[in-house]
Amino acid sequence: MVKTIAIDGPSASGKSSVSKGVAAELGFTYVDSGALYRGVTWQAIRKGIDTTDADAVLNMMHDAEWDFFVQEGASIFSIDGDVPVQELREKAVRESVANVASIPEVRKFVVESLQSLANFGSLVMEGRDIGMVVFPDSPYKFYLDADPEERAKRRYRELVDAGESEKAEEVMESLKKRDKIDSTRKADPLVVPLGAQVIDSTSMTLEEVVQTVVDAVKG
């Protein structure tokens, strides 16, 4: 039977590392749902479309050819034949993605695409609305959280490792801004899904969090 593990939580709560770890441990496919919102944003930017113009974004999104496949245990996608990976992390994408993700029809397209990935087999999917909207019937729902200071520290480290020259205070500010947009937007705001196990990872190691999820799924 196909299992869908939903891992939700705010920015930099450790969702990606935990989801990848759980997927590797269980042999499931890892899915980064945020990458799709970033993909729509990246395609809009490279086509010169104003990301605040919802109609233009939607036309572009429907015109583009999207393909989904699994590579090395993770789901990836191509847009008009190109597979963006590093590009999805660019600053321009990071700054516009929360707005693009608040367009209801973008969400509908992404949610349906994510649901169709269950055809590939069992999944570990990380995001903001996976347990509430994408796989509401899944018995395997987790909500990862951590103190904002700890999340800002993690995000800062990630950016520095990726060679970006951000200031720690700016990372904290941008995280707060993203949290606010994600939790107050009208379409599918970030909430703890019904029936989800909440894990506060502030003082846990990555391995401990992965093990907690794996034990809960196996148990």
Question: Where along the sequence are the contacts to ligand DC (CB under 6 A)?
Answer: 11, 33-34, 37-38, 97-98, 101, 127-130, 178, 182
The three-state secondary structure class of 162 is coil
Output the smallest distance, CB 130 to ligand DC, in A.
6
- Residue 69: φ, ψ to 5°: -150, 170
Output the smallest distance, CB 59 to ligand DC, in A.
20
Which one, 1 or 177, has the nearer CB to ligand DC? 177
Output the smallest distance, CB 100 to ligand DC, in A.
8
Which one, 62 or 180, has the nearer CB to ligand DC? 180
Sheet architecture: strand order including 74-79 = 66-71, 74-79, 29-32, 123-127, 4-8, 140-145, 197-200
Residue nearest to ligand DC (CB): 34
Output the smallest distance, CB 111 to ligand DC, in A.
8
d(CA 130, CA 143): 10
Which one, 49 or 187, has the nearer CB to ligand DC? 187
d(CA 178, CA 171): 10
Contact call for residues 75 and 110 (beta carbons, < 8 A): no
Output the smallest distance, CB 83 to ligand DC, in A.
16
The three-state secondary structure class of 145 is strand
The three-state secondary structure class of 211 is helix
Which one, 1 or 156, has the nearer CB to ligand DC? 156
Which one, 27 or 151, has the nearer CB to ligand DC? 151
